[in-house]
A and B are shown apart, each in its own frame.
Chain A
Amino acid sequence: MTILAGRNVHMALKSIKSTKLRSVLTMLGIIIGVASVITAVSLGEGVRKQIAGSVATSAKNVLTVRPGKLVNRDKNGNVTSANYQAAFGTAALTNQDLQAITKIQDVQSTTPLSTISAQAITRDGRQYNSIVIGTGADFAKLTGQRISYGGFFSDSEADRNLAIIGKTVAEQLFQENVPIGQVALLRGHEFIVGGVFDSFGANAYTGGGDLNTAIFIPYSSAKAISGNATNIYQILVKPKAGITEKALSHEVTDALSETHGGQQDFTVLTQAETVKLTGKTLSMLTSFIAGIAAISLIVGGIGIMNIMFVSVTERTREIGVRKSIGATNRQIYSQFSIEATIISLVGGIIGVLVALLANFFIRIGTSLTPVATWPIVGLAVAASTVIGIIFGTAPAIKAARKDPIESLRYE
C-alpha cells in the first residue's frame, strides 16, 4: 500500500503539472485562505509582542486609570472579564479626579493623558491633522518610549509651550527628520519643538491610535490654550517606593469613588491587568478576522471539490483502463484523494510563502511588525491538508465507483 501511495503521489504531481493553470486556479482559494489567516494572526501576534515589549521597557508598578467600567472583577478584585461596551460609554475623567489622585500620600507622581481639539499649523501655513495630547513630564519615562532627537520636557518646563512630536508629525508637518526649534501654532499659540519620538509601536499605555501622528505638550499648557477643555482619557499613577500596585489601586479607587459620587464609572488597572486586557481585546479581534479568513479556506475546499469532479469525469476512460488492468476501487479512490490533498497541501504551502511575503512588506511599509509563529504556520498547512482530504472524498468516491465497462467506452 505504501508503494502505491508513493506511486499515487508521483501520479498526482504529474497530473497537476499537466494541468498547471487549472491547478493553480484551484489552489488559489486555499492560497488566499491560508495567507490571510496567517497574516491576520501574525499581525495580532506582532502587536501582542510589541505590547509585551513596551511593558518590559517601561517603568514598573504603574497604575492606569481609565474612564468607564472596563472590566468585571470578582470578590478578590481579580479581573474576570472585559466589559467592551464601556468603550462606547460617556464616562470621563476630570481635572478633579487628577487632583484627588495627586493628593493621595502614597502617590509619587501622576501623569494625565488628555486630548484637546487643536490643529497644528506651521509658520509658513502648512497644516497637519494631528492628535494633540497634554501630558506630564514623566510620560516618556513611564511608558518607556524612547526619544530619537532632543528630549522630553521636565517638571520645571511643565508650563512652557513646548511640543514633543511623533515621527510622522516631523515628516509630514515640518517635512524634515529633526525639526527641533521649529514652531508650530496650536490654537494660535506658538509651541517650540523640543524633541522627536522614536517610532511608537503598539503600546499598552497608548490605548489605541497611532501616536506617531501625535503632538505632546505639557498638561498645564494644554489646559491653558483650550480653556480647561481637556479630555483626560488616561491617568498614569506611579506609587512611592515600597508601595505595592495592589495597595495603591485600592487607595486610588477609593479616592475616585468619592469624586464620582460613589459610582464606579472608572477603572484602575495594574500593569499586569493592562497587558492582559489589551491582550484579550487583541486576541478577540484577531480570532474574529482569522475566522473570516478561514471561511475562504472552506470556499477553497469547495473549489477543489468542483475541479476534482471535473477531473474525474474527464478521466473516466483512464479510470476504466486502470480498473481493467486490475486497480481496485480502493486504489482508484486513493489516487484521486491523494491528488486533491496534494493540490490543497501545495496551495497551503504557497499560502504560507505569500503570507511571509505579505508580512515582510507590512514590516517595511508600516510600523507594525507581524510575527508568524510556527504553530500557526503548522496549523494552517495542516488545515489545508485536512480540507483537501475532506473535499477530495466525494470526487474520489465517484471515481472509485465508476463501472469499468462504461468507463472504457467513454469518449
Chain B
Amino acid sequence: MPDVIELTNVSKIYGFGNATTVALDEVNLIVKKGEFVAIMGASGSGKSSLLNVIGLLDRPTHGTYSLSGRVVSRLRPNRLAKARRDHIGFIFQSFNLLPRLTALDNVALPLAYRGMTQTKRLKQAGRALEDVGLSDREYYLPKNLSGGEAQRVAIARALVGNPSLIIADEPTGNLDSVNSKIVLELLAELHAKGSTILMVTHNPELTRYATRVLYMHDGGIMFDEQTKIGEVPLRARSGGQAKPKTDEEEQLEGVSLFMSTIPARAAPGRKKLTKKPGKKARKTPTKRKTPAKTTGNKS
C-alpha cells in the first residue's frame, strides 16, 4: 500500500520568544492508503495542530510533509488551497454547511472550485448524497435538516471529489448516540470501499471502527496502536492515559517528590511510593508504557 501521509520530524511552533508554544514536537507519522486512523488525546495535546497540518490548512514550522508522495510542506497558499481541494475532504464537528445553499449545492461546492460545469457537478453531488442515503433531501436547506442529516450531507461533501484523505474532526461531537452510530457506520463504509480516514475523537467507543489509534500528548504521538475493527483498545478507554489518577494521588506525588529531596527521609518515602504503578512513569513519557501494560494485564 502506498503512503498517503508521510510526516518527517514535523513541528509546529506558535509565537515568539517567551510566548513560544510548541504545538507539534517533531512528529513522525506514516499513514498508508486504506487506513482508518483515530486520534485521541486531551485538549491542548496537539490534535488540532496535527489535523491542520495534515489537512493543509497550515504549514509546519519545521519538517517535511508528503501527501500521496508529493512534498506539500512548503507550498504557497494558492497551491496549498488547490492541493486541499484535490486531495482532502473535511468533516467538522459543527457540520459547517453553508446556510444559504441547499444540501445539493453544498455537496457540489468543492467541485465548483475545481471548475466543473454545473450539470456535471450537480450530477456528481446527487450521487454523493445518494451514497449517504439522503437523495430525498437534495433541496433542503441546512436549517431544515436534523443534526445527523446535516453531518451526512457534510460527509457527502467531503467525499464528492474522491479525495485521497478524509479528515474528520470530532464528527460526532454534536450528535446523539443514534446519529453518531449512523455517521460512524457511514465512515466505516467509506473505509471499506478503500478511503483513507483520519478522525479525531474524544469518544473511546468510536475507535472500534478504526484500524489504528494514535494517542497524543504535549505535541507528540505518545502511543501508536494497530487495532482490529470492532475492538475498543483498552488504552482508548482510559483516554490514552496510563491509568486514571485521582486528585489524591496527584497530590501525593507532589509530596513524594518533595520528600525525596530531603535526604534523611528520602529512602522510606520513595520505597513506599514506588510500589504504586504509574508513579515513575510521569517523569519521562517513554516509561509510561509500563504502567499502561499493567493496566491492560489487570483487566
Using a CB–CB cutoff of 8 Å, the interface residues on chain A facing chain B are 1, 3-4, 6-7, 14-15, 18, 317-318, 320-331, 404-405, 408
Q: Which of B77, B96, B98, B114 contacts A326 (CB 8 A)?
A: B114
Q: Which interface residue of A321, A325, A327 has the most chain B CB atoms within 10 A?
A: A325
Whole-angstrom distance between the Cβ of A293 and the nearest chain B Cβ: 35
13 contacts between A and B (CB under 8 A): A325-B110, A325-B113, A326-B82, A326-B114, A327-B85, A328-B78, A328-B82, A329-B77, A330-B78, A405-B52, A405-B58, A408-B57, A408-B92
Quick check: B81 and A323 within 8 Å, CB to CB?
yes
- Chain A residue numbers with a CB within 8 Å of B77 are 328-329
Q: Which of A1, A14, A325, A330 contacts B115 (CB 8 A)?
A: A1
Q: CA of A4 to CA of B115 in the docked complex: distance in angstroms? A: 6
- Chain A residue numbers with a CB within 8 Å of B78 are 328-330
What 1/0 flags go to B95-109 for Cβ under 8 Å of A? Answer: 011101100000001
Using a CB–CB cutoff of 8 Å, the interface residues on chain B facing chain A are 52, 55, 57-58, 77-78, 81-82, 84-86, 88-90, 92, 96-98, 100-101, 109-110, 112-118, 157, 161
- Chain B residue numbers with a CB within 8 Å of A6 are 118
Whole-angstrom distance between the Cβ of B106 and the nearest chain A Cβ: 9
Given A318-B98, A408-B92, A408-B96, A325:B57 Cβ within 8 A: no
Q: Which interface residue of B77, B88, B101 has the most chain A CB atoms within 10 A?
A: B77
Q: Which interface residue of A1, A7, A15 has the most chain B CB atoms within 10 A?
A: A7
- Chain B residue numbers with a CB within 8 Å of A404 are 57
Quick check: A15 and B84 within 8 Å, CB to CB?
no
Quick check: A321 and B98 within 8 Å, CB to CB?
yes
Q: CA of A322 to CA of B90 in the docked complex: distance in angstroms? A: 11
- Chain B residue numbers with a CB within 8 Å of A324 are 55, 57, 84, 90, 96
- Total A-B contacts with CB atoms under 8 angstroms apart: 72
Whole-angstrom distance between the Cβ of B252 and the nearest chain A Cβ: 38
- Chain A residue numbers with a CB within 8 Å of B113 are 4, 322, 325-328, 331
Whole-angstrom distance between the Cβ of B92 and the nearest chain A Cβ: 7
A3-B117, A324-B84, A326-B85 known; 6 new pairs, CB 8 Å cut-off, are A3-B112, A3-B115, A3-B118, A322-B113, A325-B85, A326-B113
- Chain A residue numbers with a CB within 8 Å of B88 are 326
Whole-angstrom distance between the Cβ of B118 and the nearest chain A Cβ: 7
Quick check: A321 and B96 within 8 Å, CB to CB?
yes
- Chain B residue numbers with a CB within 8 Å of A320 are 96
Q: CA of A317 to CA of B94 in the docked complex: distance in angstroms? A: 11
Q: CA of A400 to CA of B118 in the docked complex: distance in angstroms? A: 24
Whole-angstrom distance between the Cβ of A240 and the nearest chain B Cβ: 78
- Chain A residue numbers with a CB within 8 Å of B101 are 14
Q: CA of A325 to CA of B109 in the docked complex: distance in angstroms? A: 8
Q: CA of A3 to CA of B118 in the docked complex: distance in angstroms? A: 8
Q: CA of A330 to CA of B81 in the docked complex: distance in angstroms? A: 10
- Chain B residue numbers with a CB within 8 Å of A1 are 115
Whole-angstrom distance between the Cβ of B245 and the nearest chain A Cβ: 31
Given A317-B96, A404-B57, A325:B116 Cβ within 8 A: no
Whole-angstrom distance between the Cβ of A335 and the nearest chain B Cβ: 11
Closest chain B residue to A325, Cβ basis? B110
- Chain B residue numbers with a CB within 8 Å of A331 are 113
- Chain A residue numbers with a CB within 8 Å of B118 are 3, 6-7
Whole-angstrom distance between the Cβ of A301 and the nearest chain B Cβ: 25
Q: CA of A387 to CA of B19 in the docked complex: distance in angstroms? A: 44
- Chain A residue numbers with a CB within 8 Å of B117 are 3
- Chain B residue numbers with a CB within 8 Å of A321 are 96-98
- Chain A residue numbers with a CB within 8 Å of B98 are 318, 321-322
- Chain B residue numbers with a CB within 8 Å of A328 are 77-78, 81-82, 85, 113
Closest chain B residue to A404, Cβ basis? B57
Quick check: A327 and B81 within 8 Å, CB to CB?
yes
- Chain B residue numbers with a CB within 8 Å of A326 are 81-82, 84-86, 88, 110, 113-114, 161
Quick check: A14 and B100 within 8 Å, CB to CB?
yes
Given A15-B100, A318-B98, A405-B52, A329:B81 Cβ within 8 A: yes
Closest chain B residue to A327, Cβ basis? B113
Whole-angstrom distance between the Cβ of B126 and the nearest chain A Cβ: 17
Whole-angstrom distance between the Cβ of A179 and the nearest chain B Cβ: 67
